[in-house]
Homo-oligomer: A and B are copies of this chain.
Amino acid sequence: IITMGIDIGSTSSKAVILKNGKDVLAKEVVSLGAGTTGAQQVIDKVVAETKLGKEDIDYIVATGYGRNSFKGADKTMSELSCHAKGGVFLFGDIGTIVDIGGQDIKALAVRDGMLQNFLMNDKCAAGTGRFLEVMARVLDVHIDDLGKLDAEATGKASISSTCTVFAESEVISALAKDNPIPNIVRGIHASVATKVAGLARRVGLKQPVVMTGGVSRNPGIVRALENELDCEIKVSEDSQLAGAFGAALYAYEACQQQK
């Protein structure tokens, strides 16, 4: 059985093709989200990678912010369920999943491999990828370089606000006071960690804690969150694909039920 999971986020599209709900035939990320050709591009890529035809894919589940405007799926599933399922597939035992998306943050409580509870904040840009975008623009650096810059920090500029607007003003005045950019970046990451840790604590923090979403590739954020929560945070090179993995696994279950 060949299944595909596609996770259409606000800023990127991810797809995974699985065989029999366990072997990874292909996985891809395209940096274009909902409302673009990102979904189609990432599907074309994974399909090309497997050297299969589209007709060989038995079932497609779509998830993420853009799932409802995507027409090519057999079924759509909430991103929360998909993140939990994909997280367990990637990491095994999990207590809490923290997910920083392009425009939201989520904390999921997982018990016995199942989503038990969650909190999501999609009304506030603080702590999200958008927050990091705004800060990268003010610093005139690329958002993908924030992790590398953080590693060069010799200290941490104080960014006491979590609000994007107030933190932006603090970053501007830290720049005016000639704080080194790496130190400001570390302060920015601490602000994100404060916001996200609040959500994780409220959902009921339990180890092991894993982090999914594209932002988990930024080691500065991961370290800041480890400091803030005072525990280890696990990441995987496939963290960004957790939702797509979950969708592909749900697609596999749907196929089995049809039999």
Identify the A interface with B (CB < 8 A): 103, 123-125, 130-131, 134, 161-166
Contacts and interface: CB of A to CB of B under 8 A. Distances in A.
B123 A165 contact: no
B165 A130 contact: yes
B123 A161 contact: yes
A131 B125 CA distance: 14
A125 B165 contact: yes
A169 to B, nearest CB: 9
Given A103-B166, A134-B165, 8 more contacts: A123-B161, A123-B162, A123-B163, A123-B166, A124-B124, A125-B165, A130-B165, A130-B166
Contacts of A162: 123
A254 to B, nearest CB: 33
A239 to B, nearest CB: 24
Nearest to A125: B165
State the 5 A-B residue pairs at the shortest beta-carbon distance, nearest first: A125-B165, A164-B165, A124-B163, A125-B163, A123-B163
Contacts of A125: 163-166
Nearest to A161: B123
A130 B125 CA distance: 16
Contacts of A166: 103, 123, 125, 130
9 contacts: A123-B162, A123-B163, A123-B166, A124-B124, A130-B165, A130-B166, A163-B164, A164-B164, A164-B165
A103 B166 CA distance: 9
Contacts of A103: 166
A163 B126 CA distance: 9
Nearest to A169: B130
A113 to B, nearest CB: 34
A164 B123 CA distance: 10
A163 B164 CA distance: 9
A131 B164 CA distance: 12
Nearest to A167: B125
Contacts of A134: 165
Contacts of A124: 124, 163
A109 B53 CA distance: 66
Question: Which residue among A131, A163, A164 has the maximum number of chain B CB atoms within 10 Å of its CB?
Answer: A163
